[in-house]
Amino acid sequence: MFNRLDESFQTQQQFVSDASHELRTPVSVINAQCELTLESERENTEYREALDVIQRQGHKMNRLINSMLEFTRLELHPERYTKEDLDLSELTEDVCTDLALIREKNITLTCDAEKNLRFCGNRELLTRLLSNLIGNAYRYGRPDGHTTVRLRTEEDGLLLSVQDDGIGISPDDLPHIFRRFYQADTSRTGEGSGLGLAMVKEIAEFHGGTVRAESEPGQGSTFFVNF
Ligand code: ADP
């Protein structure tokens, strides 16, 4: 028990340290931008450009903080998330219908779900899991590409998968992508926080499931969730 407590404390410490590190960059950019802009009198357009930079960094911090809060809420208070008997096929189709409307980068989203698959789970969390995986398929997908969401019964339970034909993940990065704050290629992540897949893993485990990914760089990736 002592070992477990020690381990959990270390995980928390690591989280606080990683989170502070992630927040330091946007705060530094905001400070630097303010200092630079206030050094002398400027044209209106320059003030506007400075505010644009500050606003972008503010949004970034906001996203990061929201993801962190969501993450710790599930970890510290899993009892707040109740499970109900639900139609996972319908939930999957609904999330796909909504996200297909985005048509980001003109990527086509297809949903191929077996009908009437019942599952005992938390609606909000399962929606989040699917949205994170589909969001990544868009973010790292290729323009005019395809993303396919599948749901079917297997011998040992349900298998949910999200497949894209995007940039893929290198074999060096693949073992680490479910770690908090891990980003394979920071130049391409843009909107990301590095918490999306860690959240997917946490949600899968909350439902007694597991996650894994297969990928071929340049060809695409598939994420599997086994319930
Ligand atoms: P982020 O917010 O950076 O997307 P995630 O935790 O969702 O963070 O993903 C971690 C990293 O895994 C990403 O930064 C990216 O490098 C890689 N990754 C995740 N999903 C995909 C995907 N579908 N295709 C290629 N790389 C991906």
Average pLDDT of the chain, as a whole number: 91
Do 11 and 106 lie in one domain? The reply is no
**Cβ–ligand 1 contact at 64 (below 6 Å):** no
Looking at the predicted structure, is the pLDDT value of residue 46 above 90?
yes
Residue 68 CA to ligand 1 center (angstroms) comes to 16
Distance CA 221, CA 141 (A): 9
97: CB partners within 8 A, 6+ apart: 111
Do 145 and 201 lie in one domain? The reply is yes
Do 63 and 87 lie in one domain? The reply is no
Pocket test for ligand 1, best of 65, 99, 136 (most atoms within 8 A of CB): 136
Largest CA distance in the chain: 70
**Cβ–ligand 1 contact at 196 (below 6 Å):** yes
Do 25 and 70 lie in one domain? The reply is yes
Which tokens belong to 213?
A: 């990914």
Which tokens belong to 80?
A: 């707040």
**Cβ–ligand 1 contact at 57 (below 6 Å):** no
Q: Which of 136, 191, 183 is nearest to 164 (CA)?
A: 136
Residue 6 CA to ligand 1 center (angstroms) comes to 30
How many domains does one find in the chain? Answer: 2
Looking at the predicted structure, is the pLDDT value of residue 165 above 80?
yes
Q: Which domain holds residue 131?
A: 83-226
Residue 45, domain CATH: 1.10.287.130
Long-range contact set of residues 5-12: C-beta below 8 Å, sequence gap at least 24: none
pLDDT tens per residue across span 168-202: 999 999 999 999 888 887 665 566 778 899 999 99
**Cβ–ligand 1 contact at 220 (below 6 Å):** no
More confident residue, 193 or 81: 81
Pairing of strands 220-226, 157-164: antiparallel
- The angle formed by the CA atoms of residues 128, 138 and 75, to the nearest 5 degrees, is 25
Which tokens belong to 45?
A: 């357009």
Tell me, yes or no, if the pTM score tops 0.85: yes
Distances, alpha carbon 65 to alpha carbons 22, 128, 132, 148, 187, in Å: 10, 16, 16, 30, 21
